[in-house]
Amino acid sequence: MIKLEGISKKFGDSTALENVSLDIKRGEFVALLGPSGCGKSTTLMILAGLLQPTSGKVYFDGKIVNHVEPKDRDIGMVFQSYALYPHMTVLDNIAFPLKQRKVKKKERHQKAQEIAAMLQIDQLTDRMPSQLSGGQQQRVAMARALAKDPLFLLLDEPMSNLDARLKVDVRDEIRRLQLKLGITTIIVTHDQEEAMAVADKIAILQNGKIQQYGTPDELFMKPVNLFVAHFMGNPPMNILKCDLLRNGNERILRGDGFDYKLLSTKKLNTEFKGTKVALGARPHHLQISKVQLENSIPAKVVLVEQLGREKLIKVMLGDNENTTNFIRILSPSDLNVSYNERVYLTLDSEAIHIFDEETGKVIT
Ligand SMILES: Nc1ncnc2c1ncn2[C@@H]1O[C@H](COP(=O)(O)OP(=O)(O)O)[C@@H](O)[C@H]1O
Ligand SMILES: [Mg+2]
């Protein structure tokens, strides 16, 4: 129902978006994810009609809307700052979009009160925004965005002003509300965990380009390149530079301080003829052993953090004390290892990823 086709946006000489294409179905919750400056807000502003793309087309329900005014686009928007009107009561803030539409006072107040109830702020409608907590202001902004029953909802980092715990509550609530209303929603966030938690699909951007568009599972389990692999997941995927050595049917990954033999079942893209690769392994796909096992990698413990349910163990590969070859492992919390202890790592070889180091593209 929403389609971006080859959208590019330039600000002077600098390119904020490059050939962005995206299909969003009715009722979907899509997250635009990526580091600061990657073009998320620019994409949202183009959807809202607040910015014009330099090239490319925006379609709503099959119709080109590039030249449709923001007020005629039938969208509700929530910004990071909430942008509530400070001199209006909560009720008038929520009802404001209806006032703009010339809905009669009694009717718009009734509608605003209904939405306030849905968001559990109906006890606060007489207050001024300055008399509300951050979480309550956030709900007022959501209520205002929903007041005119928009076709879709655009949220730009709507939780970034909330403290960590409240963030989780609010994001769950936004998702619950979105599912209940079935409203097509696009959220901008730099927080991969937030995107994974709420979205049906995630478009991950870097330098104005979409790197991958898919379900949270797809992005997490089948990242198409190093950027996506490293961005998704916390603690991040371990990435190790290696040489790929081929010896008959045997393939060895040789890195600084280790050799790792690939299982013969691990398929590599046959088009890849190079030798410089990066090995990617998530922290929970590595196991620590106190004894050397077949195909295990020797390491030395440099840090142990008890996280409660599990332990985060950081190890160093090889003997070079100046190495930058560190690996993070998530282990069961009852594993006892101590600082400086020599250990051996085994990799869950079905779960590892191998990338072409030069292009960053996955080759497994
Ligand atoms: N009005 C503007 N004028 C010039 N450059 C801008 C403008 N808006 C955004 N940019 C640039 O475009 C890029 C993408 O910005 P933005 O979409 O706001 O990123 P994000 O929301 O992902 O942090 C950044 O490099 C930013 O500096
Ligand atoms: Mg932004």
CA distances from 211 to 41, 206, 319 (A): 16, 7, 36
Q: Measured in angstroms, how far is the CA atom of residue 126 from the centroid of ligand 1?
A: 37
Q: 202-225: per-residue pLDDT in tens? A: 999 999 999 999 999 999 999 999
13 Cβ below 6 A of ligand 1? no
The percent of residues above 90 in pLDDT, for the chain, comes to: 82
Predicted pLDDT at 322: 73
Q: How far separated are the first and last CA of the chain, in Å rounded?
A: 34
CA 276 to chain centre: 28
Buried b (16+ CB within 10 A) or exposed e, 79-88: beebebeeee
Q: Measured in angstroms, how far is the CA atom of residue 189 from the centroid of ligand 1?
A: 14
Task: Name the residue at shortest CA distance from atom 16 of ligand 1.
Answer: 39
pLDDT classification of 265: cutoffs 50, 70, 90: confident
Predicted pLDDT at 248: 84
In angstroms, the CA 251 to CA 244 distance is: 7
Residue whose structure tokens are 């076709």? 151
- Decide if 89 contacts 126 (C-beta within 8 A): yes
Average pLDDT, integer, range 347-362: 93
Residue whose structure tokens are 């008890």? 306
Q: 136-151: per-residue pLDDT in tens? A: 998 999 999 999 899 9
138 Cβ below 6 A of ligand 1? no
Q: Measured in angstroms, how far is the CA atom of residue 131 from the centroid of ligand 2?
A: 27
Report long-range pairs for 355-360 (Cβ below 8 Å, ≥24 apart): 355/225, 355/226, 355/229, 355/239, 355/277, 355/278, 355/280, 356/272, 356/274, 356/276, 356/277, 356/278, 357/241, 357/274, 357/276, 357/277, 357/278, 358/274, 358/276, 359/225, 360/225, 360/226, 360/227, 360/278
Q: 71-105: per-residue pLDDT in tens? A: 899 999 998 888 899 999 999 999 999 998 899 99
In angstroms, the CA 16 to CA 123 distance is: 43
The whole-chain average pLDDT of the chain stands at: 93
The order of strands in the sheet holding 286-289 is 286-289, 342-347, 297-306, 310-317, 326-332
Q: 23-58: per-residue pLDDT in tens? A: 999 999 999 999 999 999 999 999 999 999 999 999
Q: What are the backbone dihedrals phi and psi of residue 326, each rounded to the nearest 5 degrees, phi first?
A: -105, 150
Average pLDDT, integer, range 288-297: 94
Q: Measured in angstroms, how far is the CA atom of residue 349 from the centroid of ligand 2?
A: 38
Q: Measured in angstroms, how far is the CA atom of residue 189 from the centroid of ligand 2?
A: 8
| Probe target for ligand 1 pocket from 14, 46, 54, with the most ligand atoms within 8 Å of CB | 14
Task: Name the residue at shortest CA distance from atom 3 of ligand 1.
Answer: 11
Token pair belonging to 341: 């202890």
Predicted pLDDT at 186: 98
Q: Go through the domains of the chain in sequence order and give each one's CATH number.
A: 2-231 (3.40.50.300), 238-356 (2.40.50.140)
Average pLDDT, integer, range 317-339: 87
